[in-house]
Amino acid sequence: MAISGLARIQTKHAFAFFAGHRPQASLTRLIALIILGSVIFLSLGAFIFLVWKSGTVLWQEGLSFFLEANWHFRGNSYGAKALFLGSIITAFLALMICAPFSLFGAWALQNLRSEKIRFSIEALVTLMASVPSVVCGLLGILLLRPFLLQIFSPFGMETGDGLLTASLLLSIMILPTLFSLQLESFSKISKKYREQAFCLGLSRTKFFWSVVFPFGLPAILSSFALGLGRAAGETVAVFLVIGRLDNKLPSEGGWIDYLLNAGQSMTTKLGGPEIFISHQSPTHESALLLLALCLILMSVGTSTILLKFSKGKP
């Protein structure tokens, strides 16, 4: 991929830079070394701090931190299963809702004849990416919540807050990320192959599935990875519409009830006020920090796997 190639070139230059003996560059080199060192020190330090701190809760809870849904800090029990599930479900659901729209939207836009309209739609979607997430959250409260409540209340939706609302909001928020990456890859491919394909007599649909999709797959997958990362890490917007109900599992009232009604995710737990209360209760603090560590590992993990996967294709 282009990004890793760039990184490789930069690393090469960086090493040449440090190995070279140009006296006039020594001050710059020193500054660069200090910055590099502090970046490594800070990121490693933060990681080690999290690992070290999270030991306390693991000692008390063991595996039940991951396997049970009983987060009651006043009762000194910390089972985060519902939080993990909430994060995973909202992120994947958001991606599943968003993926077809962005994919076919980008393809349709690519096929538009009018340059003017194409440009303005592209600009509009890119602008969507710059809407602050708290504004998205507020719009979610004002527009999405009552709207969904109206539609889904016959199916058991109680407040309008919930995992489905959060996922829908997230899917709108990650749309620009997916859309712009896919559009870029489509535009590259179609320039190359479009005319040849049409000369061969392929229909547009056939062209999409047999040329554009397979060739664009690496870019599509990396757009999914980035979108998933954004969805899993998003806090403020989700915080406002998820309802923040602890320890809710689908086994309580079925999957439909689970999706339509309030829950809690890892980011909304961490974004809440508990860190202020956890002061000097080592286990509580440790539980929150372990949750933060898991969040880092999860988002790094999904991104790495999907990016790796996307690189292997032609």
Partner 1 sequence: MFIKTFLSLALGLCSLVAQVEASIKIQGSTTVGPIVVKAAEVLKSNKAIDIIVDTFGGSAAGLSSLASGTAQFGMISKEISEGDKAKYSDTHFTTHLIGSDAVALVVSKKLYDQGVKSLSLSQARDIYEKKVTNWKEVGGPDQKIIFLNKEPGRGTWEVFAKAIYGKVGKAPTVSHLEVGSNEEAKSKVISTPGALTQLSVAWAEKDSRVKALGLSVDGKLIQPDEEHIRAKEYPMARNLYLVSSKPLNEDQKALLDFLYSNAGQNIVEDYGYLRVSKNTN
C-alpha triplet 86, 263, 293: angle, nearest 5°: 40
Q: How far is the CB of 146 from partner 1 (least distance, A)?
A: 6
Q: How far is the CB of 85 from partner 1 (least distance, A)?
A: 14
Considering the complex, state which of residue 79 and residue 176 has its C-beta at the smaller distance from partner 1. 79
Considering the complex, state which of residue 159 and residue 303 has its C-beta at the smaller distance from partner 1. 159
Q: Under a CB-based contact definition with an 8 Å cutoff, are residues 35 and 49 in contact?
A: no
The candidate with the shortest Cα–Cα distance to 228, out of 287, 173, 162, 283, is: 173
Considering the complex, state which of residue 205 and residue 280 has its C-beta at the smaller distance from partner 1. 280
User: Which residues of the shown chain bind partner 1 in the complex (CB under 8 A)?
Assistant: 72-75, 77, 141, 145-146, 158-161, 243-248, 262, 272-274, 276-277, 279-281
Other CB atoms within 10 Å distance of the CB of residue 223? 29
Considering the complex, state which of residue 5 and residue 75 has its C-beta at the smaller distance from partner 1. 75
Q: How far is the CB of 76 from partner 1 (least distance, A)?
A: 9
Considering the complex, state which of residue 71 and residue 208 has its C-beta at the smaller distance from partner 1. 71
Q: How far is the CB of 158 from partner 1 (least distance, A)?
A: 6
Considering the complex, state which of residue 141 and residue 217 has its C-beta at the smaller distance from partner 1. 141
Using alpha carbons, list the distances in angstroms from residue 84 to 77, 88, 290.
16, 6, 12
Type of residue found at 207: F
Considering the complex, state which of residue 105 and residue 243 has its C-beta at the smaller distance from partner 1. 243
Q: How far is the CB of 31 from partner 1 (least distance, A)?
A: 11
Using alpha carbons, list the distances in angstroms from residue 271 to 33, 106, 195.
34, 34, 51
Q: How far is the CB of 21 from partner 1 (least distance, A)?
A: 22
Considering the complex, state which of residue 283 and residue 303 has its C-beta at the smaller distance from partner 1. 283
Q: How far is the CB of 256 from partner 1 (least distance, A)?
A: 16
What is the phi-psi region of residue 169: left when phi exceeds 0, alpha when psi lies from -120 to 50, beta otherwise? alpha
Q: How far is the CB of 139 from partner 1 (least distance, A)?
A: 14
